[in-house]
């Protein structure tokens, strides 16, 4: 976990990247009112495709500018509500009096209909175009991957083959939104490697992650190209055009500076969505400008989605097997509980105990003032104090507590972090008198960051308050006081076991009440 930041990295999160007011220069943009289809704004290079003044573009109906069949399709898709949230219609078209063929894509967002007309560059150098067969084969290879690491390796390799980038990385977010390059495929003559390096969360700030959860890909042909501004049609009185889903949105200048520092010119990032969450990014890097055709961009997105589905499959299978083994142990313990009058003995003695759950190396039960410990656990006195702390610190609505760096939450545990860096606790009853505890040992490790994560930003001057760090030199962090993290399902299972205990404890109480009444 990275805390110290000399410059306020939260400044990065405030940049409104969805309304940059400009696009990349290889496209011409028209933005119209999604209801009337009258032009509201256009990119300053609009004269590439038509004469903006004769008649004036402002307020001109799209139907007078674009082929009627295309506008008809746009209308019917708008009417059926199927042109939003990343959906689009595409066509190839030419404009009267112009030679070039354009690839046009239209989408609706935030009350606007946005048309982007993209011209393929003439030069075939650094120009990637893939066939459908390539995509089918690549997806087939992914299907054969048995492990997550293998799937990521194949995804990087196949995506690079498809898109022609000099390097493709599979970047995976951790729960704190730091990330790691878990796979890399790159050109032999590019010695720089980012494989295995960790990067701080501020490198891809929150609003960018939110945008990438909605819009699935970004391609930059040339980092150094001059953005083309959007011109608002006069008198329209409309707010900025929201380019969340625009393919040619210019990326944040701060990020482009970051790319410069990394030695990257042409680039790509495609969102890897797993279970509806941004799991990571498929990142493309090129040292020179690099153009990827619309068809190939779309193929790369399909391939990335296929990777995401493979990840879901592999993860689900692993989780199932792991959970199944635990359910067996839990079932065993619950059977013992129901046959026993002493829940503490049922869970801490015999062939199967609390220690068989969650790869814990220590476990315990606190029942009022009585503490029973098995395996490697802190001394009973400290466990009593921990139980008291949990009783007051854990919000009433929560039935469990977990930490993989407990000493950072509870300093008195620091001398015992070797055996108790991880703590999972579940309350048995509403009164919190009884609780189950599991301890995990410290896993000493080093994390190699791509640059010093305590300094993700430098102070800028003038209008730019922050700049990305310049150095991506390896920076090794020694991590102490951390245990392997607890999985969500483990916390839930601890809760369900505690619930079963409550059933038994209550039954015992009733029995005692009956005997004494």
Give me the residues that bind ligand BLA (CB under 6 A), please.
9, 11-12, 15, 17, 169, 171, 179, 181, 194, 199, 202-205, 208, 218, 251-252, 254-255, 258, 267, 269, 281, 283, 456-457, 466, 468
Cβ neighbors of 262 (< 8 A, separation 6 or more) are 285, 472
| C-alpha triplet 15, 16, 22: angle, nearest 5° | 110
Give 60 or 186: the residue with its C-beta nearer to ligand BLA: 186
Give 12 or 152: the residue with its C-beta nearer to ligand BLA: 12
Give 371's Cβ-side CA count (13 Å radius).
Answer: 16
Give 254 or 491: the residue with its C-beta nearer to ligand BLA: 254
Q: Which of 141, 102, 49 is closest to 293 using CA atoms? A: 102
Token pair of 331, please? 């079932």
Give 174 or 328: the residue with its C-beta nearer to ligand BLA: 174
Instruction: Give the orientation angle of helix 132-144 with respect to helix 148-163, to 10 degrees.
Output: 170
Q: How far is the CB of 322 from ligand BLA (least distance, A)?
A: 29
Q: How far is the CB of 298 from ligand BLA (least distance, A)?
A: 16
Query: How far from the centroid of its chain's Cα atoms is residue 25's Cα?
Result: 29
Give 199 or 245: the residue with its C-beta nearer to ligand BLA: 199
Give 252 or 352: the residue with its C-beta nearer to ligand BLA: 252
Q: How far is the CB of 509 from ligand BLA (least distance, A)?
A: 55
Bridging pattern class, strands 179-186 and 167-173: antiparallel
Contact 52, 46 (CB under 8 A): yes
> How far apart are alpha carbons 269 and 285 in whole angstroms?
9
Spatial strand order in the sheet of 89-93: 22-23, 228-232, 39-43, 27-33, 112-119, 102-109, 89-93
Residue nearest to ligand BLA (CB): 12
Give 217 or 353: the residue with its C-beta nearer to ligand BLA: 217
Contact 337, 497 (CB under 8 A): no
Give 63 or 278: the residue with its C-beta nearer to ligand BLA: 278
Contact 425, 435 (CB under 8 A): yes
Give 133 or 476: the residue with its C-beta nearer to ligand BLA: 476
What's the burial of 324, exposed, middle or buried (CB within 10 Å: 0-12/13-18/19+)?
A: exposed
Q: How far is the CB of 283 from ligand BLA (least distance, A)?
A: 5
DSSP 53: B
Q: How far is the CB of 339 from ligand BLA (least distance, A)?
A: 55
Q: Which of 485, 488, 510, 363 is closest to 1 using CA atoms? A: 485
Token pair of 365, please? 């039960």
Q: How far is the CB of 155 from ligand BLA (least distance, A)?
A: 15
Q: How far is the CB of 107 from ligand BLA (least distance, A)?
A: 17
Give 17 or 366: the residue with its C-beta nearer to ligand BLA: 17
> How far apart are alpha carbons 88 and 76 in whole angstroms?
12
> How far apart are alpha carbons 361 and 337 in whole angstroms?
22
Residue-wise DSSP of 419-473: HHSEEEEEESSTT--EEEEEEE----EEEEEES-TT--EEE--TT--EEE-S---
Q: How far is the CB of 461 from ligand BLA (least distance, A)?
A: 14
Q: How far is the CB of 103 from ligand BLA (least distance, A)?
A: 20
Give 227 or 441: the residue with its C-beta nearer to ligand BLA: 227
Bridging pattern class, strands 291-292 and 22-23: unpaired
Give 27 or 347: the residue with its C-beta nearer to ligand BLA: 27
Q: How far is CA 510 from CA 201, 270, 340, 341, 514, in A?
A: 53, 59, 14, 12, 6
Assess whether the previous peptide bond of 55 is cis (omega < 30° from 0): yes
Q: How far is the CB of 279 from ligand BLA (least distance, A)?
A: 14
Q: How far is the CB of 447 from ligand BLA (least distance, A)?
A: 14
Q: How far is the CB of 468 from ligand BLA (least distance, A)?
A: 4
């Amino acid at each position: 976990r990275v805390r110290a930041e000399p410059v306020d990295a939260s400044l990065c999160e405030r940049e409104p990247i969805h309304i940059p007011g400009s696009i990349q220069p290889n496209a011409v943009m028209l933005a119209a009112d999604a209801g009337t289809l009258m032009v509201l704004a256009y990119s300053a290079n609009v004269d590439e495709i038509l004469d903006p003044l004769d008649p004036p573009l402002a307020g001109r109906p799209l139907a007078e500018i674009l082929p009627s069949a295309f506008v008809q399709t746009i209308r019917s898709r708008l009417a059926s509500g199927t042109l939003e949230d990343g959906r689009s219609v595409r066509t190839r078209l030419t404009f009267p009096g112009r030679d070039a063929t354009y690839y046009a894509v239209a989408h609706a967002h935030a009350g606007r209909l946005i048309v982007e007309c993209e011209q393929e560059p003439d030069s075939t150098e650094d120009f990637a175009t893939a066939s459908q067969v390539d995509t089918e084969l690549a997806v087939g290879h992914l299907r054969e991957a048995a492990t997550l690491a293998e799937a990521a390796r194949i995804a990087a390799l196949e995506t690079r083959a498809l898109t022609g980038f000099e390097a493709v990385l599979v970047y995976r977010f951790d729960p704190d939104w730091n990330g790691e390059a878990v796979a890399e495929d790159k050109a032999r003559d590019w010695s720089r490697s980012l494989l295995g390096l960790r990067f701080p969360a501020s490198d891809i700030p929150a609003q960018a992650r939110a945008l990438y959860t909605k819009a699935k890909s970004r391609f930059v042909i040339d980092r150094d190209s001059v953005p083309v501004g959007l011109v608002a049609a006069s008198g329209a009185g409309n707010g900025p055009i929201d380019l969340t889903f625009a393919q040619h949105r210019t990326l944040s200048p701060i990020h482009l500076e970051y790319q410069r520092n990394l030695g990257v010119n042409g680039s790509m990032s495609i969102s890897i969505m797993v279970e509806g969450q941004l799991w990571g990014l498929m990142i493309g890097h090129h040292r020179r400008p690099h153009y990827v055709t619309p068809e190939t961009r779309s193929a790369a997105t399909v391939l990335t989605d296929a990777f995401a589905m493979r990840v879901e499959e592999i993860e689900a299978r692993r989780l199932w097997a792991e959970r199944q083994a635990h359910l067996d142990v839990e079932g065993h313990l619950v059977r013992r509980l129901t046959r026993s009058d002493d829940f503490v003995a049922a869970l801490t003695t015999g062939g199967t105990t609390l220690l068989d759950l969650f790869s814990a190396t220590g476990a315990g039960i606190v029942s009022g003032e009585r503490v029973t410990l098995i395996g490697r656990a802190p001394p009973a006195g400290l466990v009593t104090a921990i139980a008291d702390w949990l009783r007051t610190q854990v919000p009433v609505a929560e039935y469990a507590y977990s930490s993989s760096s407990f000493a950072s939450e509870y300093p008195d545990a620091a001398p015992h972090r070797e055996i108790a860096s991880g703590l999972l606790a579940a309350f048995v009853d509403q009164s919190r008198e009884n609780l189950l505890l599991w301890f995990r040992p410290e896993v000493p490790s080093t994390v190699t960051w791509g640059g010093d994560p305590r300094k993700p930003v430098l102070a800028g001057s003038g209008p730019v308050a922050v700049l990305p760090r310049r150095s991506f030199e390896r920076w090794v962090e020694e991590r102490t006081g951390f245990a392997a993290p607890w999985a969500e399902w483990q916390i839930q299972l601890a809760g369900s076991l505690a619930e079963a205990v409550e059933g038994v404890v209550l039954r015992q109480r009733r029995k005692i009440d009956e005997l004494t009444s």
